[in-house]
Amino acid sequence: MKTTILVTGATGTVGREVVKALEAIKDVQVKAFVRDTSKAKALQWPNVTLTQGDLAKKDTIEKALQGVDKVFLLSNADQKQTELQGNVVDAAKKAHVKYIVKLSALGTSADSPISLARWHRQTEVEIEKSGIAYTHLHPHFFMQNFLMFAATIKKDGVFYAPMKDAKMSMVDARDIAGVAATVLTTTGHEGKTYDITGPAPLSFTEAAATLTEILGKTVKYVSVTLDDLRKTLHSMGLPAWFVEDMAKLYEFFSSGKAAFVTPTVSQVTKKTGHTFHQFAKDYVENFK
């Protein structure tokens, strides 16, 4: 008998990888919840059904949850995040969903100075009170976030960030998806929170050296100030709350306190997590 799993945010960095990981597991049927099916062509695998909907429209969530056993819950960063994800939790209760795995973030707490971390915790509490079995995933900074530096690396062989010389244990989104898929399809994870990091801490200077080796051209990292970051993000038209959240995150990352490593990936998936070197090799075309 197949287990049907709904994945929200299915076209995003992590959501796409979760769909891919689940699709390869026997006796799993995946429902990919997307707003625009024309942007989800890459998800059209044999065991995946595209379900069009919007987290702001409760009727579309209720329709998507028909016949669903479990939910992988994530959504884009949004000031309405708690409302949008809360709509899923409410609908999941009505649909008698058995299990919710929520993607949150490291440092999620009710008193965090970072808005997204507080909002994540609010939803976690709502899930915990729902009576539905759950697992919370708290991943570190994604290696795939390096793709935001691709344009300047291509053009000038340089990237800019307010990291100073600090190291942090970035994690590949594919490993986050591996943990999620394992948790969703095996037992013993209910009621747990997993902090997910990469296999080793790395500085951005070391990341630049790795990219230099793989690309065959010099790539340099230039440390900038938090105010420089704010100006850049504001110039991109990003909302003020998001700009401040990013500045506070980088303030923490650059303090050196983000270099810790957890064994979650290897313990849960029984596989070794991707190194930054492997990530850079796999995504090399993005930086050329």
Please indicate, yes or no, if residue 190 is contained in any of the structural domains.
no
Is 217 found in the same domain as 204? yes
Residues of the chain above pLDDT 70, percent: 100
Nearest-angstrom CA–CA distance, 156 and 151: 8
pLDDT in tens, 2-46: 999 999 999 999 999 999 999 999 999 999 999 988 888 888 888
CATH number of the structural domain spanning residue 255: 3.90.25.10
pLDDT in tens, 103-128: 999 999 999 999 999 999 999 999 99
The continuous run of DSSP H or E covering 49 comes out as strand 48-52
Q: Is the pLDDT of residue 91 over 80?
A: yes
Nearest-angstrom CA–CA distance, 145 and 20: 19
Q: Provide the β-strand partners of residue 102.
A: 73, 136
Please indicate, yes or no, if residue 192 is contained in any of the structural domains.
no
62: domain range? 3-139
Q: Give the model's pLDDT for residue 41.
A: 82
Is 154 found in the same domain as 99? no
CATH number of the structural domain spanning residue 126: 3.40.50.720
Q: Which among 139, 143, 230, 149 is positioned nearest to 183, based on CA atoms?
A: 139
Domain count, the chain: 2
Is 103 found in the same domain as 226? no
Instruction: State both tokens at 184.
Output: 């969703």
Is 154 found in the same domain as 132? no
- Dihedral of CA 90/92/96/100: which sign? negative
Please indicate, yes or no, if residue 244 is contained in any of the structural domains.
yes
Please indicate, yes or no, if residue 219 is contained in any of the structural domains.
yes
Q: Give the model's pLDDT for residue 258.
A: 96
Is 240 found in the same domain as 215? yes
Please indicate, yes or no, if residue 94 is contained in any of the structural domains.
yes
Please indicate, yes or no, if residue 61 is contained in any of the structural domains.
yes
Is 279 found in the same domain as 148? yes
Terminus-to-terminus CA distance in the chain, angstroms?
46
Q: Give the model's pLDDT for residue 42.
A: 83
Is 165 found in the same domain as 278? yes
Instruction: Find how far residue 89's CA is from the centre of its chain.
Output: 19
Nearest-angstrom CA–CA distance, 162 and 253: 9
The label of the residue with tokens 């230099």 reads 212
Is 159 found in the same domain as 121? no
Is 127 found in the same domain as 41? yes
Crossing angle between the packed helical segments 81-94 and 115-130, to the nearest 10 degrees: 10
Residue 54, classified by CB atoms within 10 Å of its CB into exposed (0-12), middle (13-18) or buried (19+), is middle
Q: Residue 4's CB: how many other CB atoms inside 10 A?
A: 15
Domain final residue, candidates 139, 156, 183: 139
pLDDT in tens, 48-85: 999 999 999 999 999 999 999 999 999 998 999 999 99
Is 288 found in the same domain as 147? yes
Q: Provide the β-strand partners of residue 99.
A: 70, 133
pLDDT in tens, 117-171: 999 999 999 999 999 999 999 999 999 999 999 999 999 999 999 999 999 999 9
Q: Name the 3-class secondary structure at 64.
A: helix
To the nearest 10°, report the CA torsion of 199, 19, 190, 121.
Answer: 80
Domain final residue, candidates 120, 139, 158: 139
The label of the residue with tokens 């993005």 reads 286
Is 156 found in the same domain as 100? no
Instruction: Specify whether the CB–CB gap between 166 and 251 falls below 8 A.
Output: no
Helical residues (DSSP H) of the chain, grouped into ranges: 13-23, 58-64, 81-94, 115-130, 150-156, 173-185, 204-215, 226-235, 240-253, 264-269, 276-282, 284-287
pLDDT in tens, 166-192: 999 999 999 999 999 999 999 999 999
Is 80 found in the same domain as 150? no
Q: Give the model's pLDDT for residue 1.
A: 75
